[in-house]
Chain A
Amino acid sequence: MSATNEVITSGSYIKHHLQNLTYGQFPDGHWGLAHTASEAKEMGFWAFHLDTLSVSFVLGALFLIFFYRVGKKMTSDTPSGAQNFIESVIDFINENVRGSFNGQNPMVAPLALTTFIWIVLMNTMDLVPIDWLPYVAQQIGVWFGADPHHVFFKVVPTTDPNATIGMSIGIFILIIYYSIKEKGAGGFAAELTFHPFGKMMLPFNLFLEGVNLIAKPVSLALRLFGNMYAGEMIFILIALLPFCVQWSLSLPWAIFHILIVLLQAFIFMTLVIVYMDMAYQKKH
């Protein structure tokens, strides 16, 4: 993508939409914003996606502020509108936690709530018409003196694998922490090595159980990322079509996508609860 007189082709449009706003360390050692996709790639591991981080932070903060403010004004009398909404969400979460989680841990339900609402909000960014927020970001970038073609802004955090992997790493840490806390290091090691084939097949057992353990965060992260990325991709492709066709496809897809938004968040939350329950189980 050259900076001057660029004609937007389908390819560049798609690429532009799929590129994160990257702040990182250039190969020569200094830190700065990547101007092109290749520059971002060269930065390698030592970089941040500012768009992913900022959007997810704002959404998470919105969620917590809203719930915190309503929670502070909670009454046990007849609830008002916002309180009704929050109570139904809490009931929904509680029901799921009670149904799937058999341990005693005051963290699991708030964890499930945070996971669910945060992911719902992040996924919902997919329903904002895909050019709006990038355009706003571009204007702000231009105001700061940047080349509009170099301002990237990927709005949906969950279409960035970093976001989903980051969350699943958190879950993975919790799984290991509570497994060791509940069963002891020995118990956890035994679970990994003595099943399913007995002590004689220890390496094989370790391999199987290891795959089983690693598969949890990986599948968690990739499922969410894959679904949202594919959905976003289709929105981008629809946006490339002529205007009169756009809305006739975009609307049904958006309606269908509402389902995916909620479903993926629900699946993530349910799996978090189930994994936590498995960490607590001592059946072996």
Chain B
Amino acid sequence: MNINLTMFGQLIMFAMFTWFCMKFVWPPIVMAMEERKKRIESGLLAAERGRSEQKEAQAKAQEMINQSKYHAAEIIANATRQASNMVEDAKDIALKEAGKVKAQAQVQLEQDTIQTRNELKNQVSDLVMQGVNAVLAKEVDVKTHQQMLGKLSQSLS
């Protein structure tokens, strides 16, 4: 347990070790740890940013969905309106056409009626004349009864 030069040997060794540690051992270790710290920090920040971006995107998407829903509703409403208009128009046209056809048919009918009636009248008067002729062939003088027969056929028409 003598005190001797060992003391200074130890002192020099201590100084050397500390110097080496400070110069070559400490900095790379601390730097790597510091770098990891920074990376974790930036990673957390990025995650946070990503989360807020996602929220934003979701909101945007929701808005777009709402808008397109509105558009779709509008389009459907327009289409419905247009369709009902078309149906209305078609109905109008059809009604008009039908009216026209009906009117034509009525006119035709009337003409036919008149014609038929005239024909019938003529035939009936002819028949009457024939019958009268056949019945009154000798008793009736055609010339004397001509006037009366004429009146008769006139009243029939």
Q: Which A residues are within 8 Å of any B CB, using their own CB?
A: 18, 20, 22, 24, 40-41, 43-49, 52-53, 56-57, 60, 63-64, 67-68, 70-72, 74-77, 86-87, 90-91, 94, 106-107, 109-111, 113-115, 118, 157, 160-163, 165-167, 169-170
B residues contacting A by CB (< 8 A) are: 1-11, 13-15, 17-18, 20-22, 24-26, 28-33, 35-36, 39
Q: Do B4 and A113 have beta carbons less than 8 Å apart? A: no
Question: Considering the chains assembled together, what is the distance between the CA atoms of A74 and B13 in angstroms?
Answer: 26
By secondary structure, the A interface counts as helix
The complex places the Cα of A151 from the Cα of B59 at a distance, in Å, of: 85
CB pair A167 B22 closer than 8 Å: no
Chain B residues lying within 8 Å of A87, measured Cβ to Cβ, are 29, 33
The answer to whether A167 touches B14, judged by C-beta atoms less than 8 angstroms apart, is yes
Given A52-B10, A76-B33, A114-B21, 6 more contacts at CB 8 Å?
Answer: A22-B4, A64-B17, A74-B29, A111-B22, A118-B14, A165-B7
Which residues on the B side are within 8 Å of A53 (C-beta)? 6, 9-10, 13
A residues within 8 A CB of B30? 90, 94, 109
Q: Which residues of A contact B8 (CB under 8 A)?
A: 166
In the bound complex, residues from chain B placing their C-beta under 8 Å from that of A169 are: 7, 11
For residue A20, which residues in chain B have a CB less than 8 angstroms away from its CB? 2, 6
What's the nearest-Cβ distance from chain B to residue A62, in Å? 11
A44 vs B21: C-alpha distance in the bound complex, in angstroms? 33
Structural contact, A76 and B2, CB atoms closer than 8 A: no
- Cβ of B28 and Cβ of A60 under 8 Å apart? no
Whether B29 lies near A166 (C-beta < 8 A) is no
The reply to whether B4 and A162 form a contact with Cβ atoms under 8 Å apart is yes
Distance, CA A77 to CA B18, complexed state (A): 28
Q: Is the CB of A41 within 8 A of B13?
A: no
- Residues of A near B25 (CB, < 8 A) are 64, 67-68, 71, 110, 113
Q: Contacting B13 at CB < 8 Å: which of A57, A109, A113?
A: A57
Q: Is B39 a contact of A41 with CB atoms below 8 Å?
A: no
**Are A43 and B14 in contact, with the CB atoms below 8 A?**
no
Can you sample 27 A-B contacts with CB below 8 Å? A24-B5, A40-B2, A45-B2, A45-B4, A47-B2, A47-B4, A48-B5, A48-B6, A57-B13, A64-B21, A67-B21, A67-B25, A74-B31, A74-B32, A75-B32, A86-B29, A90-B26, A90-B33, A91-B33, A111-B21, A161-B1, A162-B4, A162-B6, A163-B7, A163-B10, A166-B7, A166-B13
B15 near A76: Cβ-Cβ < 8 Å: no
- Bound complex: CA of A47 vs CA of B4, how far in Å? 6
Q: How far is the CB of B3 from chain A (nearest CB, A)?
A: 6
B35 CB contacts on chain A under 8 angstroms: 76
Question: B7 to chain A: which residues have CB within 8 Å?
Answer: 162-163, 165-166, 169
Q: Which of A45, A68, A86, A170 contacts B3 (CB 8 A)?
A: A45
| B10 with A67: CB separation less than 8 A | no
Give bound CA distance, A71 to B22, whole Å. Answer: 12
- Contact check, B4 vs A111: say whether CB atoms are below 8 A apart: no
Q: Is the CB of B6 within 8 A of A107?
A: no
Return chain B residues, CB-CB under 8 Å to A94. 30
Chain B hits for A49, CB < 8 A = 4, 6
The answer to whether B1 and A18 have CB atoms under 8 Å apart is yes
**Known: A90-B29, A110-B21. Is A46-B4 also a contact (CB below 8 A)?**
yes
